[in-house]
Amino acid sequence: MYNPKSTKAEEFINNEEILKTIKYAQENAENKDLIKKIIEKAKEKKGLSHKDAIILLTCKDEELNGEIFKLAKDIKEEYYGNRIVLFAPLYLSNYCVNGCTYCPYHAKNKHIPRKKMTQEEIRNEVIALQDMGHKRLAIESGEDPVNNPIEYILESIKTIYSIKHKNGAIRRVNVNIAATTVENYKKLHDAGIGTYILFQETYNKESYEKLHPTGPKHNYAYHTEAMDRAMQAGIDDVGLGVLFGLENYLYEFTGLLMHAEHLEAVYGVGPHTISVPRIRRADDIDPNTFSNAIDDETFKKLVAVIRIAVPYTGMIVSTRENKECRKAVLELGISQISGGSKTSVGGYYKPEKEDEDSSQFEVNDNRTLDEVVNWLMELNYLPSFCTACYGSGRTGDRFMSICKNLQIHNFCLPNAIMTLKEYLVDYASETTKQTGEKLILNELEKINDEERKQLVISNLDKIVKGERNFKF
Ligand code: SF4
Ligand code: SF4
């Protein structure tokens, strides 16, 4: 029985409800009156239920689709402005006991090099990341209680936060590790993590069990209820995602929104972020063996409708996507992207040799961080290295209420300007510096509050003189 308030996986992600929703969407694919009514509702910019949102996703009418895309752009602009937050993944270890059939780290893959970074190696990677200009990392690790126990993850987080190289600092560590216990989530919370990220991979239980034939991840309920345990442990920023291509995207889309509705219904806080990875080629993995791959047009529509359905949730796209696709989805709702990424264990400090490749997936955007920053600015986006909310206690429901009241932009804009300035002073190439300085002058004019604007101008001056980490 479907019940968003239940904490049982099969009740809040209810198979029957999902199938019913898809059927309802298929029956109404040509129902223009209904689609128009839902677009009007969506224009209130307060989000949509999974039942309403799927109607927009399956809409085939070109004119109405134009309205849907425009609305996604408007919502993005109104909630977040033009800032795009940058981050990098850092893979700690690819030892893994699970059997995920779509991931090269699965336990039966005997030819991929297995690596686990020592604290010294992590230190070198973090210095290399700081020297690129990164301030925000997402750490990743396979699940292996012997090789990667929670103590290893905690020690690594401590190491990462402790490194202060030149003007560099990692100010926010988001964590993407396997589903774990409330006790371990409490430890992660106490270690000062930002967002806890866990991809559901697929919401379809039957497919999930087939795609995860062995290892602890096989347990669908334990995996699906992970965010509940994280919330119970005090982590109030959680990041959802599915791996598009494993299952029918309509199923995944509905499951994803139901998950968001569940978190909101039970904890009063929806997901902090939603990631939209698509399956990619990797060692031992041929994406063509997964028949549910979605094309670029469908992908764009997905991003746009997720943006409309959960306006208050940050949306992330990684270097799985190429430059063109990233450009298209930035417009439609993405608010955070990775840049200069390595998806191997190590590789920032010293590139891996070809025969030692430990990548989790093929990267489709190989540009440096500086190139990505410059590209964003040329597209009129404001690249941001801001991590202020966590340090200022704006997490969970406090963040959500500011965001839902369309006020977060008042923090994001000045913080983006100041962190971009840090980047320009410390790390940027000459071309990027020139573009960035011009952009900053324009962006300052968008700060409505004169007092705040003057404070930002004075902080920019202090940044040039060597001070760091100003925030609102
Ligand atoms: Fe292990 Fe995660 Fe890869 Fe599965 S997806 S094999 S859990 S690293
Ligand atoms: Fe993110 Fe908060 Fe910074 Fe805005 S102010 S970019 S929401 S950390």
Whether the model clears a pTM of 0.85, i.e. scores above it, the answer is yes
pLDDT in tens, 66-96: 999 999 999 999 999 999 999 999 999 999 9
pLDDT value, residue 291: 83
Q: Which helix (H) or strand (E) holds 172?
A: strand 172-176
Helix (H) or strand (E) holding 87: strand 83-93
Two tokens, residue 30 = 């040509």
The tokens 């994406």 sit on which residue? 287
The SS3 call for residue 269 is coil
Ligand 1 midpoint to CA 192 (Å): 24
- Residues 245-252: what's their mean pLDDT? 96
pLDDT at 282: 83
Bridge pairing between strands 382-384 and 83-93: parallel
**Mean pLDDT of all residues in 384-407:** 93
Whether 195 lines ligand 1, by a CB cut-off of 6 Å, is: no
Distance (angstroms) between ligand 1 centre and the Cα of 178 equals: 8
Average pLDDT over residues 208-222: 98
What are the Cα distances from residue 461, in Å, to 335, 387, 426, 443, 449? 28, 20, 14, 16, 19
- Confidence check: pLDDT of 237 > 90: yes
Instruction: Calculate how far, in angstroms, residue 233's C-alpha sits from the geometric centre of ligand 1.
Output: 23
Task: Give the closest residue to 80 by CA, choosing from 296, 297, 404.
Answer: 404
| 258 within 8 A of 294, measured Cβ to Cβ | no
Over 90: is that where the pLDDT of 112 sits?
yes
Residue type, 65: N
pLDDT of residue 232: 98
Please say if the pLDDT value at position 420 is more than 90.
yes
CA distances from 47 to 22, 75, 209, 330 (A): 19, 10, 31, 19
Nearest to 472 by CA among 430, 419, 403: 419
Our answer on whether the CB atom of 143 is closer than 6 Å to any ligand 1 atom is yes
Question: How close is the Cα of 412 to the center of ligand 2, in Å?
Answer: 5
Cα 144 to middle of ligand 1, angstroms? 10
Query: How many angstroms separate the CA atoms of 164 and 118, rounded?
Result: 18
CA angle 371, 375, 376 (to 5 degrees): 120
**pLDDT interval class at 415 (50, 70, 90):** very high
| Ligand nearest to C-alpha 216 | 1
Task: Give the CA distances from residue 200 to residues 35, 94, 322, in Å, rounded to whole numbers and listed in that order.
Answer: 29, 19, 23
d(CA 425, CA 137): 21
Atom of ligand 2 nearest to the CA of 411: 5
The percent of residues in the chain predicted with pLDDT above 90, rounded, is 94
Instruction: Give yes or no for a contact between 147 and 156, defined as CB atoms under 8 angstroms apart.
Output: no
pLDDT at 41: 98
What is the model's pLDDT at position 149? 98
Query: Which residues does ligand 2 sit against, CB inside 6 Å?
Result: 85, 384, 386-389, 408, 411-412, 415
- Using a 6 Å cutoff on CB, does residue 98 contact ligand 1? yes
Q: Which ligand lies nearest to the CA atom of residue 243 in the structure?
A: 1
Q: Distance between CA 73 and CA 41 in Å, rounded? A: 16
User: Region 390-413: what's the mean pLDDT?
Assistant: 92
Q: Residue 116: CB within 6 Å of ligand 1?
A: no
* pLDDT, the chain, mean: 96
Alpha-carbon distance 259 to 148, whole Å?
A: 28
Q: Whose CA is nearest to atom 6 of ligand 2?
A: 412
Atom of ligand 1 nearest to the CA of 360: 3
Instruction: Say how many Å lie between the CA of residue 100 and the centre of ligand 1.
Output: 6
- Predicted confidence (pLDDT) per residue in 268-314, tens digit: 999 999 999 999 888 888 888 888 989 999 999 999 999 999 999 99
* Per-residue model confidence as pLDDT tens digits over 122-138: 999 999 999 999 999 99
Q: If you take atom 5 of ligand 2, which residue's CA is the nearest one?
A: 412
Q: State the distance from the centre of ligand 1 to the C-alpha of 94, rounded, in angstroms.
A: 8
pLDDT tens digit sequence for 357-383? 899 988 999 999 999 999 999 999 999
Tell me how far the alpha carbon of residue 394 lies from the centroid of ligand 2, in angstroms: 9
What does the pLDDT average to over 145-154?
98
Q: Note the pLDDT of residue 280.
A: 84
> Which residue from 143, 176, 201 has its CB within 8 A of the most atoms of ligand 1, so it is best to mutate?
143
Average pLDDT over residues 218-230: 98
Q: Using the atom order of ligand 1, give the atom closest to the CA of residue 96.
A: 1
Give the DSSP letter string of 117-158: --HHHHHHHHHHHHHHT--EEEEEE---TTTS-HHHHHHHHH
> What Rg, from alpha-carbon coordinates, does the chain have?
21
User: Atom of ligand 1 at shortest distance to CA of 94?
Assistant: 8
> Which ligand 1 atom sits nearest the alpha carbon of residue 142?
8
Does the pLDDT value for residue 146 go beyond 90? yes
Cα distance between residue 216 and residue 205, in whole Å: 15
List the chain domain ranges: 79-243+271-298+314-388, 406-464
- Would you state the structure tokens that stand for residue 228, as one six-digit string? 């509940």
Note the pLDDT tens digit of each residue in 156-193: 999 999 999 999 999 999 999 999 999 999 999 999 99
354 has pLDDT over 90: no
Give the nearest ligand 2 atom to 390 CA: 8
How many Å lie between the centroid of ligand 2 and the Cα of residue 195?
Answer: 12
- What CATH superfamily classification does 79-243+271-298+314-388 receive? Aldolase class I (3.20.20.70)
User: Which residue is listed with tokens 């029956």?
Assistant: 27
Task: State mean pLDDT over 420-433.
Answer: 98
Calculate how far, in angstroms, residue 314's C-alpha sits from the geometric centre of ligand 2: 10
